[in-house]
Chains A and B, each alone.
Chain A
Amino acid sequence: MKRFLPAIALTFGLLLGAQPAAQAEGEGLMSAHASVRDPASLQRGAHLFFNYCAGCHSLKYLRYSRMADDLGLTEKQVMDNLNVTGAKFQEPVVSSMPAADATKWFGKNPPDLSLEVSAKGADWVYTYLNTFYLDPSTPIGWNNTTLKNAAMPFPLWELQGEQTAVMKPGTHEVEKLQLTTPGSLTPVEYQQATRDLVNFLTYASEPAALQRHHYGVWVILFLALFTLLAYFLKKEYWKDVH
């Protein structure tokens, strides 16, 4: 038995390491280092979401009350500062923008973001928020290198400023983006802000993650104790077997 344990551990590690091809299409995503374990970051992310995203995007599976509990906000803070739709505290976060208007303005209905991180991955969302650039050839004036011809005008431009694309010589392929007009945040501050936003969306994708981490350690410690006892009991009985 003992001979096999390292082999099992190794197999397990390899499996977890060799994750299936990228969570979403697209090479060279920036790493968000997303984590739901920093309450202050989640709170900042929530503020960003409600200030810049909630006008169009819903989190239809997330209730204000649940968010308040998990993020350490009071009912008053949530209802006064974040909830501008007049929804009740226990109701989910639903954007007040009528779908018909959205379709008229953007050509499509802005997607619900409840499960955006589960579907696309935190790194994808993070990279997406960092790769908008001015593009006069699109109807909305903005484009994105992560999601080509994104229908969304860049909502955070005041914070990041305006990026423009440097093309590869003689092509229409973007070589790199450069900041031509600074925003109200420095590039480092902006990256932190988008990280906060991604952290919040990661939380919104799976609020249970907070509970999982909390209980998981204790469950495993308990099981380790049980296994140890079972092992001694087995050893004791197997003294009979020669």
Chain B
Amino acid sequence: MANEVVDHGRRRFLTATTAVVGGIGVVSAAVPFIKSWEPSARALAAGAPVTQSLKKIEPGQQIVVPWRSLPVFIVNRTPEQLAALPKQDDRLVDPKSDGTSSGQQPEYAQNETRSIKPQWLVMVGICTHLGCVPDYHGEMKPEPFDPNWAGGYYCPCHHSRYDIAGRVYKGVPAPKNMEIPKYHFIDDTTVQIGVGPKGEA
């Protein structure tokens, strides 16, 4: 009956080749399914750069612009608020944003004011502790949570505090300064969030 000798080498070769090709097929077939989880065209459209005019923002006022479903704070900082910034340094975790917060802003905003133009703060308003949206307390006056308050942000969730450049104070749960998004000025009074000065997204 079994008068032919089984060619084991050929069998092994064909089995291996078919398995490899079949495996490539299965993996390739999985790619579209994995890719389907990436942000869709609709999500990308919603996350497209946002252009905002600065004309109607009074000194000391903050507006909140939605970008990628995130609240982006834009503050027209007064000279007094700016002058208070360097005085906070020794009370802050990372005043120069070059330590634990070095990844929290683009290079062009890694400075004392954490901005391109000192006057304008553009910042993602998400607390670095557990993701709440901190309240804006712009006025420089004693607050229940800080008698020496120089203007800034106070998170209602776990009482983290930030100065008016989004730099986190020592002794609060939040570990890092708040994030500065990529942005650039289209002209003196218009800012675009989501794209840097060199067009990088």
Q: How far is the CB of B30 from chain A (nearest CB, A)?
A: 14
Q: Flag whether A63 is at the interface (Cβ < 8 A).
A: yes
Range of interface residues on B (Cβ < 8 Å): 10 to 19
**Residue among B11, B17, B45, B48 making CB contact with A229, cutoff 8 Å:** B17
Contacting B at CB under 8 A, from A183-242, are 222-223, 225-226, 229-230, 232-233, 236-237, 239-240, 242
Which one, A65, A230, A239, A242, contacts B6 given CB within 8 A? A239
Does A96 reach chain B (CB closer than 8 Å)? no
What is the interface of chain A, defined by CB distance below 8 A to chain B? 63, 65-66, 88-91, 222-223, 225-226, 229-230, 232-233, 236-237, 239-240, 242
Are B14 and A232 interface neighbours, CB within 8 A? Answer: yes
Q: Is B11 within 8 A of A236, CB to CB?
A: yes
The contact of B2 among A63, A230, A240, by CB within 8 Å, is A240
**Cβ-defined contact, B45 with A65, below 8 A:** yes
A176 to B7, CA, bound (A): 75
A226–B2 touching, CB < 8 Å = no
Least CB distance from B179 to A in Å reads 23
> Who on chain A is nearest to B21 by CB?
A226
Q: Which residue of B lies closest to A225 (CB)?
A: B21
Query: Distance in Å from the Cβ of B201 to the closest Cβ of chain A?
Result: 12
Q: Is the CB of A63 within 8 A of B11?
A: no
Q: State the majority secondary structure of interface residues on B.
A: helix
Q: Which A residues are CB-close (under 8 A) to B14?
A: 229, 232-233, 236
Query: Which residues of chain B have a CB within 8 Å of any CB of chain A?
Result: 1-2, 4, 6-7, 10-11, 14-15, 17-18, 21-22, 25, 28, 41, 44-45, 48
Bound complex: CA A88 to CA B15 (Å): 55
Known: A232-B14, A233-B18, A239-B6. A226 touches B45 (CB 8 A): no
Could you tell me if A233 and B15 are in contact, using CB atoms closer than 8 angstroms?
A: yes
User: What's the least CB distance linking B68 to chain A, in Å?
Assistant: 12
Query: How far is the CB of A146 from the nearest CB of chain B, in Å?
Result: 34
B7–A236 contact, CB under 8 A? Answer: yes
**When the two chains form their complex, are residues B44 and A90 in contact, meaning their CB atoms are under 8 A apart?**
yes
Most chain A CB atoms below 10 A, which of B2, B4, B17, B45: B45
A68 to chain B, nearest CB (A): 12
Q: Which residues does chain A contribute within 8 Å of B25, judged by CB atoms? A: 222-223, 226
